Chains A and B, each alone.
Chain A
Amino acid sequence: MQQVRALPVVGGFADRLLAEDLPDLPHQRRAEVVGFVARRVDGLPSFTRFGVLLIGVVFRALLAVPGGWGLGRVVLRLPLPFVAEYPRLVRSLGYAYVWEHWPSTTPTGGAA
């Protein structure tokens, strides 16, 4: 379990989510944020990390099929314990990074 790196598992999802939330965030910055999110997931306590990677694998699979992202968003809105925490975790880490590093970022991610 420790050998599985987070970036390949959560990277695609984080990238997609942040691209949608913060459409004006420059690509290079988004890549930096995704890298940070993955590093933090790598450092999570064992059980949480396992859970996040498990959910991440499911969403990675969803992202790989046509229409999968739409389906994934529906799933995320269901009141499923812990599943809804996944985008929340990505957003928390991502937003904290964006506004700490580039405090004048606009609400849509633009560099003011």
Chain B
Amino acid sequence: MIARPADAAMDAEVLVIGSGAGGATTAAVLAEAGIDVLVVEEGEWVEQGDTVPFSLDQMDRQYRAGGVTVALGLPSVAYTEGRCAGGGTEVNSGLYWRPPGELLARWREDFRIADFDPAELLSIADEVETVLHVGTDPAGPTAPSEAMRRGADALGWRNGEIPRWMRHDGSGAGQRQSMTRTYLPRAAASGARIVTGCRVDRLELDGDRAVAAHTTLPDGRTGRITFRDVFVCGGAIQSPALLQRSGIRGNIGRSLAVHPTVKLAARFADPLNIPDDVPVHQVKEFAPHLSFGGSASNPGLVALSLLDEWNGFRDAVVDWPRISVYYAAITSQGRGRVFSVPRLRDPIVTYHLTARDRALLRSGLGRLALLMLEAGADTVFPSFRGAPAVRTRKHVATMERLFSANRASVMTVHLCSTVPIGEEAARCGADSFGRVHGATNIHVNDASLLPTAPGVNPQATVMAFAIRNARRFAAGESHG
């Protein structure tokens, strides 16, 4: 535990707001370059093992609003954000995807990201893989993972085990290599101070410069932190919200991009449920537009997945040891917004699915149901109101016909693109190294910068961008 309490007045050369994938890497790079860094994190420091993964207790302690956050729309899209030292990296599934090379090249062209070499990002990804001990599970796939593989193989669909940032000891037990295990200790070892339980409410501006951050502690005490430069790394919802609360305008919060998902519960003949872990196989046959994977499936979450059609499905809840939950995720053409309203503490978030998104969710859920039948599921319970139980291929067609995104539980854990990086003034909120357009010393360095949702699990891409930008800053090349 390396976090310390906040003082009422503090000062740093560089203030880093948020300690997730973006903030922790930023802090480590800058501190290792000899810069005086202060990291301020709203959530608490929670040691791994202190909470059961994917439990309500974990949601209370490590998620924003206990995990009950929603982007309003028709349908509304439920989302979750980590809120603890290490941010989303502490609570997520740990599934690692390198930044997709062609996508990086497309981003460079479409958003005019200057001095941006996809090869550089991929080489940073190599480093990240070493630091995070990215690898496959020596124990082999779990039963819910194996079910995905079986179904996909039967259909001839491309699939594979996704490596994770997990360090395995001699006994095979895995330790998640989240930010509290990796980049935050590294930052601290190089002199960075890390303060937890301290929220930055707003930045104080003087012309185009930010001069201080105004903070609040959980007991209501307020404080002020002065700095030379600030890196806002609060994640794709909180970073734009903070900038807006501080009076910063521009393309901030207007282009939220997510990977919307729909779910189903699949019941098998034999027990397979693993309450505290997720399956590590993904099916990428229809990627990048459509991907399938496994979700957390503790008994509470199984009950949740049956909830939309409770009258028809409730009897299955007692079978939860034989049930695992799976998702179909899409790359969405839709976009959302984050906007702060004066005097409201939290931003309002909206999301709009396009007709193409809805169609993709429909066909995605249909294909996923088929996959689970091929995997040997006796019954598939899709998560939307009015859903039929699916037992045969014929039922899959009926289910697709009855599906409506408006009646489905649509959710996401991948939030991006609210301050897109690049010189394309009409679309970007920050310059090619993350400095907010129109500001001299305010930088964004987290998932907000990704120009679009990447179509794969995004953490590695977030980290690669953050490390690139922080290095550039440390080298003094991005100073205004």
Chain A residues within 8 Å of B318, by CB:
104, 106-107, 112
- Asked whether A46 and B315 contact (CB < 8 A) given A40-B66, A96-B300, A99-B302, the answer is no
Task: Please tell me if the beta carbons of A96 and B317 are within 8 angstroms of each other in the complex.
Answer: no
CB of A91 closer than 8 Å to a CB of B: yes
CB of A97 closer than 8 Å to a CB of B: yes
Task: Please tell me if the beta carbons of A96 and B346 are within 8 angstroms of each other in the complex.
Answer: no
Q: CB-defined interface of B333-349 with A at 8 Å, one 1/0 digit per residue?
A: 00000000100111110
CB of B69 closer than 8 Å to a CB of A: yes
CB of B314 closer than 8 Å to a CB of A: yes
Main secondary structure of the interface of B (DSSP, over half): helix
Chain A residues 69 to 103 lying within 8 A of chain B, measured CB to CB, are: 81-82, 85, 88-89, 91-93, 95-101, 103
CB of B74 closer than 8 Å to a CB of A: yes
Looking at B65, B298, B301, B320, the one whose CB has the most chain A CB atoms below 10 A away is B65
Chain B residues 62 to 81 lying within 8 A of chain A, measured CB to CB, are: 64-66, 68-70, 72, 74, 76
CA distance A69 to B272 in the complex (A): 41
Chain A residues 1 to 59 lying within 8 A of chain B, measured CB to CB, are: 21, 36, 40, 43-48
| Number of residues on chain A facing chain B (CB within 8 A) | 30
Partner of B55, one of A43, A46, A100: A100
- Asked whether A93 and B68 contact (CB < 8 A) given A81-B74, A100-B298, A107-B317, the answer is yes
B297 to chain A, nearest CB (A): 11
Looking at A85, A96, A105, the one whose CB has the most chain B CB atoms below 10 A away is A96
Task: Please tell me if the beta carbons of A44 and B65 are within 8 angstroms of each other in the complex.
Answer: yes
- Asked whether A95 and B341 contact (CB < 8 A) given A40-B68, A107-B315, the answer is no
Partner of A43, one of B68, B300, B347: B68
Chain A residues within 8 Å of B315, by CB:
107
Task: Please tell me if the beta carbons of A103 and B68 are within 8 angstroms of each other in the complex.
Answer: no
- Asked whether A48 and B70 contact (CB < 8 A) given A85-B76, A100-B56, the answer is yes
Partner of A107, one of B56, B69, B314, B347: B314
B206 to chain A, nearest CB (A): 28
Chain B residues within 8 Å of A107, by CB:
314-315, 317-318
Task: Please tell me if the beta carbons of A46 and B304 are within 8 angstroms of each other in the complex.
Answer: no
Task: Please tell me if the beta carbons of A99 and B300 are within 8 angstroms of each other in the complex.
Answer: yes
Partner of A45, one of B74, B300, B301, B346: B346
Known: A100-B56, A100-B298. 14 other contacts (CB 8 A): A43-B65, A45-B65, A45-B69, A48-B69, A85-B76, A91-B307, A91-B310, A95-B300, A97-B300, A99-B299, A100-B299, A105-B317, A107-B318, A112-B318
In the A-B complex, the 8 residue pairs with the smallest Cβ-Cβ separation, listed nearest first, are A100-B300, A45-B346, A96-B300, A103-B299, A99-B303, A107-B314, A99-B299, A95-B303
- A: residues with CB less than 8 A from B are 21, 36, 40, 43-48, 81-82, 85, 88-89, 91-93, 95-101, 103-107, 112
Give me 16 A-to-B residue pairs in the complex whose CB atoms sit less than 8 angstroms apart, sorted by A's number. A44-B65, A44-B68, A45-B65, A48-B68, A82-B76, A91-B307, A92-B304, A96-B56, A96-B300, A96-B303, A98-B303, A99-B317, A100-B300, A103-B299, A103-B320, A107-B315
